Amino acid sequence: MGTATYALGESPTIRINTCHGDMEIEGRQGGDVLVTSNSMPQSVQQSEGLTIEQCEDDLRLIVPLGATVMIERADGDVRALRLAGLEIGAVQGELEAGSVRDHLDLRRVEGDARIRDTGRLTLGRIGGDMNVEAISAACTIQEVAGDVRMRDLASVSLERTGGDLILSSSGASRVGNVDGDARVGEVADLSLDRVGGDLTVERVRGSLSFRDVDGDARLHGTMHGMERAHVGGDLSLDAALASGETSSLDVDGDVSLSVPNDADLALHADVGGDVSGVERHGDVGPVDVAWGAGRARLTLRVGGDLNVYGSAVTATDRSVLSFAATDASEPSHSAEATRVDPAESSGGDPDLALLEAVARGELSPEEADRLLAR
């Protein structure tokens, strides 16, 4: 075992071109760099830096806390702790990095990557699984072949993961493709492109949008305008729709929609299966109903059943519902669905009002018969 010591000051730059074994780099107080290996590498010392050309064996470095380490290629595993900066070209094994104060830039890791407590984080491709937490600046990740777990991030942009995604306690979050399931805890804003499995969103403080979910989707938060978002399975929607926004969702399975008491929503739904919680045009017609002023508009195409529930729905008198589109310029002081009073619509004659509603297509004959029998 050989050892060499270099006095380089408190903020040196250390370059390692190639290491054929494992690497361990640790920052400590002081201004010396300590190099240890069974096969001592060829090193070149400059005024404020050190270059290690090639190491045939495992390599251990003790460096100052203010050091920036640049690695071109490591054939084994890399473990790096307590540095000012870390830049890596390629790691053939696994990477563990933590307490990197300023930045960590990485082009490629063939194995798993575990990264915590860094400043700006920029990652290219991870060949295995990735676990990232406590990133105080922007986090940008191009591709992860395996599963991804991320938490406590200032913000994140992830282009693709080949496995599952678990994301929580993050600022603005943009995710491209997730081939597996995606589970999102508390984030500020969330934008998703495609999820190959199921999507669960627990809480989004800001905006929520997505394009395509192949499996089931369970959504909580505030949903902003989405054009023709698709869910291949079932949808459970317990999310506020932003006022003035229009969203359109295509759902192949069943839909459960929660409507809170302060809802300001106009809903249009074409439903292939059964409808519960609201009325529809006849036995197979669409659902058109509004709560409040209907400033947020939601259009659903539902391949299965539609169940609408919640405090606003429970409070609604469903004897006769108006299916006319709600005019957002005329605010309502009620969170209940807009409805027609039969006695007022035809000079006080409720029987005549029901017949007129059937003629206009607002009620089916069967629904009118039930109301006349009361």
What are residue 222's DSSP bridge partners?
A: 207, 240
Give 193-202 pLDDT, tens digit per residue.
999 999 999 9
Task: Note whether 125 and 109 are within 8 A (CB).
Answer: yes
> How far apart are alpha carbons 55 and 191 in whole angstroms?
44
Find the mean pLDDT for residues 68-80. 98
Q: What is the pLDDT of residue 284?
A: 84
> How far apart are alpha carbons 223 and 141 in whole angstroms?
25
Averaged pLDDT score across all residues of the chain: 87
Residue 316 has pLDDT above 80, yes or no: no
Decide which of 87 and 225 is more confident. Answer: 87
Sort 314 into a burial class: Cβ within 10 Å, 0-12 / 13-18 / 19+: exposed
In whole angstroms, how far apart are CA 288 and each of 105, 245, 257, 326, 359? Answer: 52, 17, 14, 9, 17
3-state percent helix, strand, coil for the chain, nearest multiple of 5: 5, 55, 35
Find the mean pLDDT for residues 352-368. 60
Alpha helices (runs of H) in the chain, residue ranges in sequence order = 311-314, 342-345, 350-359, 365-372
Q: Global pTM?
A: 0.81
Residue 315 has pLDDT above 60, yes or no: no
Give 200-251 pLDDT, tens digit per residue.
999 888 888 899 999 999 998 777 778 789 999 999 998 778 889 899 999 9
Residue 192 has pLDDT above 70, yes or no: yes
* Range scoring the smallest mean pLDDT among 110-119, 236-245, 287-296: 236-245
